[in-house]
Amino acid sequence: MSVSIPQASDRREMYASVAIRGAGDEIFINKAYFGKKSYKSACWNIKIYENEIISGPVVFLRLAFTHKSGISLRQHAVGASTHMSYIITAERQLLLSAELASARTQAAFAKALERTGTAFGFSHVAFMNAPVPDDSMMTPLLIEGSVPVQFVREFDRQQLVRRCPMLLCTRDSVMPRSWHLLERDGAPDIDLPRELYMLLINYNCPMNVIIPINSSNGQRLLFWFMGNRNSLGQSELNELTMIMLQALDAYNGLKRNDGAMPNTLSARELEVVRWAAQGKTSVEIGQILSLSDHTVNAYMMNAIKKLDCVNRTQLVAKAIRLKLIS
């Protein structure tokens, strides 16, 4: 992968086409432009001194460029607005944990969580309550995430919460579980329902990781990562689990902060509550959001539970009072 990166340096512009390959500190400059001169990669010896995340997906690498003719450009900060999965592995945990820790809103937390999944090669992530025996649907369990709505809808239609052995295991164990549907060595040690197998394959998510975790109040939560990549090695699984501990701290911080209480509702739950405040019925909201009225009611009940209300009317009133909706 190559990206173009501009950065002012010594009042002159430094441009480079960068390819970052794999782990460690292998970084290759295909061509660099300093002032009006251009240099090919063969002309440079490059060493990474440090790297830090400034904001969002922008990763800054501090490099020393030494021209093989003996000319030294000293150290120049080079910013690469690139895919997070290409962050140097040695720094990945630090960078992602820092972004999660700095999240002050639910939206920022959700973005950092999604970016964490991307950094590990996953396409979707779900942060949710671990199911209990009475649960049959994923929708009311979801707290945040990027799982497609249609995936959740089909998951609930098949009532896979009660039939997914990996989810059921989270009731009794906080050990992370990973499986890969297309790799022999990564195959699940428990048979999956065919409907779940086909759903994951259809959404190009053969690789899955579920990380259960306990919140400060004893509530069992879990992070579910899914996508199409090779099986996680033990070191990567350990790294991801440690980052999720930071994610839990960030989430607990949002919950403790009264001002952040509005953000305890997911984006979809807020959307449903907004339409309810405008007098829409569940059927009408479902038509607007392309959801079944059954799913709308599930979001509504989840919001009622989160805000400690008893009915829809109280939910709308409290959401307005807390300035969740206007």
d(CA 226, CA 124): 5
What CATH number should be reported for the domain holding residue 314? 1.10.10.10
Whether 154 and 279 share a structural domain: no
Confidence category of residue 90, pLDDT binned at 50, 70, 90: low
Sign of torsion, CA 176 117 194 155? Answer: positive
Whether residue 260 is contained in a domain is answered as: no
Closest alpha carbon to 208 in 287, 274, 157, 155: 155
pLDDT tens by residue, 136-173: 889 888 888 889 888 998 999 999 999 999 999 998 89
pLDDT tens by residue, 269-298: 999 999 999 989 999 999 999 999 899 999
Token code pair at residue 211? 């990380």
Whether residue 259 is contained in a domain is answered as: no
Query: Could you give the 3-state DSSP secondary structure of residue 164?
Result: coil
Whether 98 and 223 share a structural domain: yes
Domain count, the chain: 3
Answer for the pair 73, 32: CB distance below 8 angstroms, yes or no. Answer: no
Domain boundary among 235, 254, 273: 254
Token code pair at residue 44? 């440079």
- For the chain, the residue count is 326
Burial track 167-191 (b if 16+ CB lie within 10 A, e otherwise)? bebbeeeeebbbbbbeeeebeeeee
What is the pLDDT, as a whole number, of residue 45?
46
Whether residue 275 is contained in a domain is answered as: yes
Question: What's at 110, amino acid-wise?
Answer: A
Domain boundary among 211, 232, 254: 254
Domain containing residue 14: 2-82
Whether residue 108 is contained in a domain is answered as: no
Whether 126 and 245 share a structural domain: yes
pLDDT tens by residue, 168-197: 999 889 999 999 999 888 777 778 899 999
Whether residue 110 is contained in a domain is answered as: no
Closest alpha carbon to 96 in 105, 80, 83, 84: 84
Is the confidence at residue 231, as pLDDT, over 60? yes
d(CA 247, CA 116): 10
What CATH number should be reported for the domain holding residue 128? 3.30.450.80
Model's pTM, two decimal places? 0.59
Whether 186 and 208 share a structural domain: yes
What is the pLDDT, as a whole number, of residue 309?
80
Residue reference for tokens 């959001």 = 289
Residue reference for tokens 């919460």 = 161
Whether 98 and 240 share a structural domain: yes
